[in-house]
């Protein structure tokens, strides 16, 4: 059965006659579902959020971070459908699980992977391929998901195939999208790896098979831990440079002239999004669980980045104080509150945390962000402020936190009395009205 099923599935992947289910319709799952439909597969996107499913089924793109042209093309193909139940899994040849894996109290929460795994396992048919994309610690695919899919006389590597391929979508990146970003794929055995690679080869230009699931899982954590640690390095450097009267950004630009052995990273109010603040926690948690040792570099870097919103708020308060304006009751106008430019995602946004710190010190906060009409947190209840000359001139501090590309920052800050540029977006040196991080 194994050889026959493997050959049969491989043929259906080649001819695009395989039926695909993508569990989880966030920006990762929806992007993959749309891409597979565009390539000719019949795809069902499954999500427990009935309102999201209804909107997507009606052709409304309600998921930030998904390429609009891709979604429209997939919807118009007639090959992309959506549902809230798992029944389509019973006839699917490929099932990809793309559900969130959040962190609670420094511990990974795999409840959504487990819930999806149970539902898929109850319906999975013989000869199907299951792929986990959710970021997690090494061993999850084999130790957590696999037992939920198996049943008597229905084993991974025999009656169905199982692999892990970490998502690598970077929302807002116009250079590297789903197709042009290489994929890493690792299965529980050679056949699983081969079939998963065959599937991804239909939607991605460059697929890189590795020896197994654990390698692929660890590779994903390394990618984001590498970024998080280096961001922490320049964040701490920025504090040292500020204390010594050195321009951090000039230092980074100078170091970046070296054509080898250096990669520039840039300081900011902290790290945000669904990956960099959270993924290294899986690595640190697993190290303590499995070896009893802390992953010291990761934990230190997390602490440094977590302190940055408070540090930036303190720098803003000090700069206002130098201008004779006490932070309590100061009018602060923030430009950009999402976690990165040109993306409407507030998850773990360091910009929002910075504003919460300022509000806690008594500052009166206003903000503008083209993606966020209302900002509601435990501390803030705000509506977007129009970018009028009067509003900008009235602010004691205009704070650039997330420099969206549609902002003409030179024009917006021309009349501001004081600008704190947390991202060096203005690149304005020698201007007494502008302070950079």
Structural domains in the chain, sorted by start:
2-211 (3.40.50.720), 227-436 (3.40.50.720)
**Across 187-195, average pLDDT:** 97
Average pLDDT over residues 331-348: 94
Span 350-400, pLDDT tens digits: 999 999 999 999 999 999 999 999 999 999 999 999 999 999 999 999 999
- Does the pTM exceed 0.85? yes
Q: In angstroms, what CA-CA distances link 343 with 100, 143, 386?
A: 18, 35, 19
- Residue with the bigger pLDDT between 57 and 287: it is 57
User: What was the pLDDT predicted at 2?
Assistant: 67
Tell which residue, 319, 338, 337, 335, has the closest CA to residue 327: 319
Q: Is the pLDDT of residue 3 over 80?
A: no
Write the pLDDT tens digit of every residue in 219-242. 999 999 999 999 999 999 999 999
Task: Spot the catalytic one: 21, 98, 241, 275.
Answer: 275
Percent of the chain with pLDDT over 90: 84
User: In this predicted structure, which of 71-80, 146-155, 164-173, 376-385 has the lowest mean pLDDT?
Assistant: 164-173
Per residue in 404-437, pLDDT (tens digit) is: 999 999 998 888 999 999 999 998 877 889 999 9
What's the pLDDT score for residue 435? 93
Q: What is the DSSP string of 227-286?
A: HHHHHHHHHHHHHHHHHHT--HHHHHHHHTTSSSS-------S---SSSTTTHHHHHHHH
Angle, helices 2-15/190-200, rounded to nearest 10 degrees: 10
Give 35-64 pLDDT, tens digit per residue: 999 999 999 999 999 999 999 999 999 998
pLDDT value at residue 429: 74
The residue whose two tokens read 């304006």 is 325
Catalytic residue at 98?
no
Mean pLDDT (the chain) is 94
pLDDT surpassing 70 at residue 88 = yes
């Amino acid at each position: 059965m194994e050889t026959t099923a493997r050959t049969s599935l491989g043929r259906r992947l080649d001819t695009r006659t395989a039926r695909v289910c993508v569990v989880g319709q966030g920006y990762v799952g929806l992007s993959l579902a749309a891409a597979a439909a565009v390539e000719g597969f019949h795809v069902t996107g499954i999500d427990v959020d009935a309102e999201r499913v209804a909107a997507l089924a009606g052709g409304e793109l309600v998921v930030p971070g998904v390429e609009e042209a891709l979604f429209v093309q997939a919807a118009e193909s007639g090959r992309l459908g959506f549902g809230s139940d798992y029944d389509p899994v019973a006839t699917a040849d490929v099932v990809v699980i793309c559900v969130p894996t959040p962190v609670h109290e420094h511990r990974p929460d795999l409840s959504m992977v487990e819930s999806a795994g149970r539902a898929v396992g109850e319906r999975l048919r013989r000869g199907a391929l299951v792929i986990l994309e959710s970021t997690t610690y090494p061993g999850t695919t084999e130790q957590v998901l696999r037992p939920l899919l198996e049943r008597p006389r229905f084993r991974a590597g025999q009656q169905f195939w199982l692999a892990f391929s970490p998502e690598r979508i970077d929302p807002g990146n116009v250079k590297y999208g789903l197709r042009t970003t290489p994929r890493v794929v690792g299965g529980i055995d050679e056949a699983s790896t081969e079939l998963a690679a065959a599937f991804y080869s239909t939607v991605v230009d460059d697929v890189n098979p590795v020896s197994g699931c654990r390698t692929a899982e660890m590779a994903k954590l390394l990618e984001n831990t590498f970024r998080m640690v280096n961001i922490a390095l320049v964040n701490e450097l920025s504090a040292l440079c500020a204390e010594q009267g050195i321009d951090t950004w000039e230092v980074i630009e100078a170091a970046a002239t070296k054509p080898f052995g250096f990669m520039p990273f840039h300081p900011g109010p902290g790290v945000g999004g669904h990956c960099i603040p959270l993924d290294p926690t899986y690595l640190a948690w697993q190290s303590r669980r499995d070896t009893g040792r802390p992953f010291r570099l990761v934990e230190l870097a997390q602490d440094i980045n977590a302190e940055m919103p408070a540090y930036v708020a303190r720098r803003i308060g000090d700069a206002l104080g130098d201008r004779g304006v006490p932070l309590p009751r100061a009018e602060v106008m923030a430009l950009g509150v999402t976690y990165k430019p040109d993306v409407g995602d507030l998850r773990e946004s360091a910009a929002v945390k910075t504003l919460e710190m300022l509000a806690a010190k008594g500052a009166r906060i206003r903000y503008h962000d083209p993606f966020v009409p209302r900002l509601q947190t435990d501390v803030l209840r705000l509506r977007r402020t129009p970018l009028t000359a009067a509003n900008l001139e009235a602010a004691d501090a205009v704070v650039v936190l997330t420099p969206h590309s549609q902002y003409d920052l030179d024009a917006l800050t021309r009349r501001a009395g004081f600008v704190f540029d947390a991202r060096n977006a203005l690149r304005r040196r020698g201007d007494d009205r502008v302070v950079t991080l």
